[in-house]
Structure 1
Amino acid sequence: MELTDIWFLLIAVLWTGYLVLEGFDFGVGMLLPVVAKDDPVDRQVTLRTIGPVWDGNEVWLLVAGGATFAAFPFWYASLFSGFYLALLVILVALIVRGLALEYRNKLQHAAWHRRWDLAIVIGSAVPALLWGVALANIVRGVPLNANHDYTGNFFTLLNPYALLGGLTTLVLFALHGAIFLALKTHGAVRDQARALVLPLGAAAVPLAAAFLIWTQSYDGSWLTWVLALLAAVCLLGGILASRAGRDGLGFLGTAATIALAAATLFVTLYPNVLPSTTDPAFSLTTTNAASTPYTLKIMTWVAVIFTPIVLAYQGYTYWVFRRRLTRDDIPQVTVA
């Protein structure tokens, strides 16, 4: 296997990790007004489920972006210039969401909380939608000229296939978040979250099925069909396990669904990294978009040394904060 193939695989793994971990963060944020209603204590319980881990989950995005820049600079250049406005919207939403999570409890005032809660909902829903749109466009391809420059505009990205991808990630992340809340809480929040699993699942199943079937029209193979079918089985299994009260299995089911769906997209994409809809000859591939072999060799040694350390640290964080949360864990504070 060439180093270019190894780094394509590593970037796919990084994006998959980001989507699985940040996916339930987005889901929790989107569902905040539903699972906690207007109860300030329940809202605290909901937000504390992701409090220790949300910023660590975003590191996967930073590493994925950095790895793309270093390993495939031409992919990075075409992608970030062509998707500039969409990525800027995502970045602003993530910044607003981060500010909301950090500043919400600086004042114990109901109006202050409502504004930041709205920021959390919007800052979670927008990236959940637009990441699906972006990934779908990467697989489908975008108009590139002979210099690999993007020749479309923002609305070119809003094609039916990409919008279906965005709706799929939006609903799937919401389902992932609901099952995560059921796993991490006791009491009213857990009851509300479990009540949402069935309706969210009823929406996620046909959306995900339609999106993955449509994806097969873009260089689908027997392997992508297998991955898509496994994703469907995991999604149905996760929903059924959650409804049966097996929250851990339910969460593993939706996590596996997102991971397998991401794998389907990247396997469909390979060996391209950004197909051209103008002319296939203008497509960016793992070969013509890659850095020099020397650069990839240095990056490989760095990844071999530091990746296990980062994974061990993040795994330890999840282990430390594994306990379910209840209303008794929230200090009694009077909200004006």
Structure 2
Amino acid sequence: MALKVIVKLHSFVLLLLLMHLASADIPATGSEIITKPGCRSHCGNVSIPYPFGIGPGCFIDKDFELSCDESIVNDIKPAYGSIKISNISIPDGHMTAEIFMGRDCPDNRYTASATLVGTFTFSSAKNKFIGMGCNTWAYLGLDDSASICTGCLSVCNKTKDITNGSCTGVGCCQAPVPVGLKTLYVKVGKMFTNNTSERLSFNPCSYGFIVDESSFNFTLPYLKDFKNNGTGTVPVVVDWTVGNETCMEAARNPSSYACGQNTDCSVPEGNNTLGYRCNCRWGYTGNPYLQSSTLGGCRDVDECKEICKGPGGKCENTEGNYTCVCNNGYSYEVRDNITYCILENKSSLPGSTQNNNLNKIVVGKLCF
């Protein structure tokens, strides 16, 4: 997989690639098919959904090729490059990567850089750039030529100046991540003035990093020690697409078109990279990148098992849809997107909406 992260520790260039794939969006149960026939679906207890894969013919292209080291539990490595991945989302086209941060500590200063190859980009919608520390400057550049992409300043001298949960420039500052970012260079340092000629005891280090916004909430203890004085990693959302064409262009060539049966194709909004994503249509579930519904691709959901309930109802499942009919003497109520047929004059279900029309027919599509 052509995902490359180069972490620079002074003059030492470290190429480290560990990939742990966990898919919360595609269940890895015994009956759920997530890979192509004959391909491995797990490395240890970690699931590997197609278009990612291990071994020849098991991945969609070289950017998605993985390897599994049996001697290390859950050690899944891309064939190329190096970042550690903790989650893959098929519906969203997202991955959560673990990225090293830039830091300035009393005994060391690290500058971190990272490069994503192919159609992988750092998500501008899910990530933020963070500068953390008293009297700290941090910038996110495109390379080591100091071409600044974005940055921020954080100032403080006393702990009473700092508010937990606030990242507005006092102890912590933030800036947006540019759209389509594939290469980053994070540098951070301390600003010393006449009033602060030495490092503060409660804040020995300064930090700069991009991070999944939903996973980061600034607190005062971070200034004392954050991720083992910055030697750890932070989670970052990486967007991915397949191919290098639009949906219309890709669909013209069925032999290379990535979307299987009963799928919709989309191009991510605001993403200036090439490629597209596949998702199962409403009323279908499965892995949209697998071509056949009988081999793990998008298959019909039987809504009658979950959607139309109650002794006075009849449900007919159709391909990608369903019909729910309430008999005479029954009315329908909807709660949590489930239709219940109940006897009239009975008390309503909590949190439901009721309609007293007889023989009500509900026809709908649900997104799974």
What band does the TM-score fall into relative to the shorter chain?
under 0.3
Higher relative contact order (CA 8 A, sep 6+): 1
Structure in which a larger fraction of residues adopt helix: 1
In the superposition, the TM-score normalised over structure 1's length comes to 0.22
